[in-house]
Amino acid sequence: MTAALPEVHVIAEAGTNHNGRVDTALKLANAAQEAGADSVKFQMIFPAGLYLPSLWQDGKLTENTVFAARTRAALSGSGFSRIAGHCKSIGIPFSASVFDRAGLDLLRELEAPYIKLASCDLNNGPLLRMAAERGRRLILSTGMSSLGEIETAVRTVLDTGNRDLVLMHCVSVYPCPVEITNLGFLDTLKSAFGLPVGFSDHTQSSIAAAIAVSKGVTWIEKHFTLDRKDEGFDHAYAAEPATLTAYVADIRSAIQACAPGQPKTREAEAGVRKRARRALYAARDLAPLEVVREEDVLIVRPEGPMEPNDLHRVVGASARRAVRRYEPFSPDALIAKER
């Protein structure tokens, strides 16, 4: 009996690729749903909860341009509420990465199925505790972090009594070359903590994701956008809708390919086996009771009743009846030789 396939939850990460426009966010949700993703995730960045509005430079306080850009591209709570409602109407779960208490409170109000914390907050114990105490599944990215830092974060979450934690292996390079994805670390995460593990994929293909599936991840996250040429923080390395659709399909194919407990030979191979395997055939007409010599046997395609490894059973046996040239040998056409 074939074992059940592993379930892999694919998060379509819209991030802030809405550029502050709710209508764009709704289109992103539609694209995620059409691509076959299991949920769509945004980033609830309320700039005052993540950045200083001004920075000291050369002895004077100057505007923080990142704060200003994030403010221009931010969505309001009502905007996120509208997006969440739209996601519900089209049948795709909505969630978000959160960076402060305001985001946590809003995500709870919108009844998101999980809370995502980005790699930058893995060492933010106060936020980790607040998120864990919400009692929801917590998805935690581990980019830029040592194993010791991950251990501290895991302990912080588990100490709240919330054990519904997923650790996302992540390399915080955008885009990330496949060669430096360090997917072997997935094994370390699994063995060190015994928790579900996932992969936050910043590469430009599905190769790393397929490898991650083979290593038993149950969550995969992929950034996407409507147009990589748009201005903003994450568009340039994100997947466009058609690419996202192909990416999700590749993951589903990888899951099928890695399903445990499958038989070595499958029905799909039957036709090729019949055509490509060899069998034992008569090289000439044989009369009844005539002894078969080795030169009387052809070992050729297609597959037949007796395979090449049966040659010793044929050579030295006698024909039970007349055997025609190019007829496949079969046990019922032979009288076994005496031992």
pLDDT at 337: 83
How far is C-alpha 203 from the geometric centre of its chain's CA atoms?
13
CATH topology match: 9-257 vs 267-335: no
Neighbours of 322 (CB within 10 A): 13
pLDDT at 264: 77
Split at pLDDT 50, 70, 90, the class of 96 is: very high
Does the CA dihedral 26-27-30-36 come out positive or negative?
A: negative
CATH architecture of 9-257: Alpha-Beta Barrel (3.20)
Q: HEC profile for 244-264? A: HHHHHHHHHHHHHHCCCCCCC
Tell me the mean pLDDT in the region 74-94: 97
20: left (phi over 0), alpha (psi -120 to 50) or beta: left
Q: HEC profile for 149-197? A: HHHHHHHHHHCCCCCCEEEEEECCCCCCCHHHCCCCHHHHHHHHHCCCE
199 contacts 169 by C-beta, under 8 angstroms: yes
pLDDT at 339: 67
pLDDT at 6: 61
Answer whether residue 5 shows pLDDT above 70: no
Distances (CA, A) of 320 to 323, 333, 337: 8, 5, 11
Within a 13 Å sphere around the CA of 203, how many CA atoms are in the beta-carbon half?
Answer: 21
Mean pLDDT for all residues in the chain: 95
Answer whether residue 321 shows pLDDT above 70: yes
Tell me the mean pLDDT in the region 276-293: 97
Cα separation, 72 vs 68, whole angstroms: 6
- Say what the pTM is: 0.87
Tell me the mean pLDDT in the region 240-253: 98
pLDDT tens for residues 205-214?
A: 999 999 999 9
Beta strands in 72-146 (DSSP E): 94-98, 114-117, 137-141
Neighbours of 181 (CB within 10 A): 23
- The CATH number of domain 267-335 is 3.90.1210.10: yes
pLDDT at 3: 46
pLDDT at 223: 98
pLDDT at 329: 98
Answer whether residue 217 shows pLDDT above 80: yes
Domain ranges for the chain: 9-257, 267-335
